[in-house]
Amino acid sequence: MTRVAVVGAAGRMGRMLVEAVAADEHCQLGAAIIKPGDSLQGVDAGDLVGVGTLNVSLTGDLALAINDFDVLIDFTTPELTMQNVELCRQHGKGVVIGTTGLSNDQKAELAKVAEDTAIVFAPNMSIGVNLVFKLLEMAAKVLGDDADIEVIEAHHRHKVDSPSGTALKMGEVVADTLGRDLQKCAVYGREGYTGPRDRETIGFATVRAGDVIGDHTVLFACEGERVEVTHKASSRVIYARGSLRAVRFISDKRTGLFDMQDVLGLK
């Protein structure tokens, strides 16, 4: 049985994770971390999400709970995630990271930390989305050089990063397959007189509205036909379900940086 800690346990995603861990036969909740000074501190995590007492009190200090878990699940902010990762490295704890918006330097730091502990890092933990990544690779191989490629994504009004980490990963998959550098060929929005489209570019369009959980489409537009690869999320439970697959995947690993393609055996 793998003991799991959830950071941000009082948030929307955190509550979903706590509930999912409580229901999983291979995992048990070891710690539930909330913001320091939060009024929920001391409340039982099971009572918070309505699954009954789990005998795990919400706490604002991950360091105090370091001996209570084997793997940490982190869907927070880049800065907090990196702090938590370093603490886990020092104590040999595995980490599953669903945080988006990490910089290239922070991603490089994760690779260094993974020399000392096991990490699964993915911009989207959904099993379906990670299947889509594989489909995009196939589509790019067949259509890429003959298609104009656009990535369109929509999320709820509270999401703070744009484009989404998932949209960027989709662009990376396509660009890598076609031998392009996404940092050089990406176009983030268009306005005014932009001139004809450059076939080598990969465009991104972003929508932020209402309570949209997450919609992503990659459009391959050729002369005479279009192919669209789409994923739509209707519940955050898909991210929790994928996170627990990731937890089980690294539970017996000591070091290494992995993603959901590794977890699902798609590489």
Residue 210 pLDDT: 97
Between CA 171 and CA 76 the distance in angstroms is: 23
* pLDDT over threshold 90, residue 123: no
* 104, amino acid identity: N
Strands 214-222 and 148-155 come out as antiparallel
Residue 124 pLDDT: 87
pLDDT band at 111 (very low <50, low <70, confident <90, very high): very high
Counting Cβ atoms within 10 Å, is residue 225 exposed (0-12), middle (13-18) or buried (19+)?
Answer: exposed
Q: Which tens digit of pLDDT belongs to each residue from 221-246?
A: 999 999 999 999 999 899 999 999 99
Residue 172 pLDDT: 96
Residue 198 pLDDT: 94
Residue 32 pLDDT: 98
pLDDT band at 62 (very low <50, low <70, confident <90, very high): very high
CATH 3.40.50.720 intervals, the chain: 2-121+236-263
Q: Report the CATH number of the 127-233 domain.
A: 3.30.360.10
Give the Å distances, CA to CA, from 223 to 25, 43, 66: 51, 59, 57
CB 92 within 8 A of CB 69: no
CB 246 within 8 A of CB 118: no
Residue 236 pLDDT: 87
Output the six-digit token pair for 224: 């005479």
Catalytic residue among 155, 169, 216, 231: 155
Q: Which tens digit of pLDDT belongs to each residue from 165-212?
A: 899 999 999 999 999 999 999 999 899 999 999 999 999 999 999 999
Beta sheet of 148-155, edge-to-edge order: 186-188, 202-208, 148-155, 214-222, 225-233
Q: Which CATH class is domain 2-121+236-263?
A: alpha beta
CB 197 within 8 A of CB 148: yes
Residue 101 pLDDT: 86
Catalytic-residue membership of 93: no
Work out the average pLDDT over 78-95.
97
* pLDDT over threshold 90, residue 100: no
Work out the average pLDDT over 101-117.
95
Work out the average pLDDT over 246-256.
97
Of all residues in the chain, the percent with pLDDT exceeding 90 is: 95
DSSP string, the chain: -EEEEEETTTSHHHHHHHHHHHH-TTEEEEEEE--TT-TTTTSBHHHHHTS---S-BEES-GGGGGGG-SEEEE-S-HHHHHHHHHHHHHHT-EEEE------HHHHHHHHHHTTTSEEEE-S---HHHHHHHHHHHHHHHHHGGGSEEEEEEEE-TT--SSS-HHHHHHHHHHHHHTT--HHHHEEE---S---SPPTT-EEEEEEE-TT--EEEEEEEEETTEEEEEEEEES-THHHHHHHHHHHHHHTT-SSEEE-HHHHTT--
Q: Is 24 left (phi over 0), alpha (psi -120 to 50) or beta?
A: beta
Residue 86 pLDDT: 97
* 264, amino acid identity: L
CATH 3.30.360.10 intervals, the chain: 127-233
Catalytic-residue membership of 141: no
Residue 109 pLDDT: 97
Residue 40 pLDDT: 96
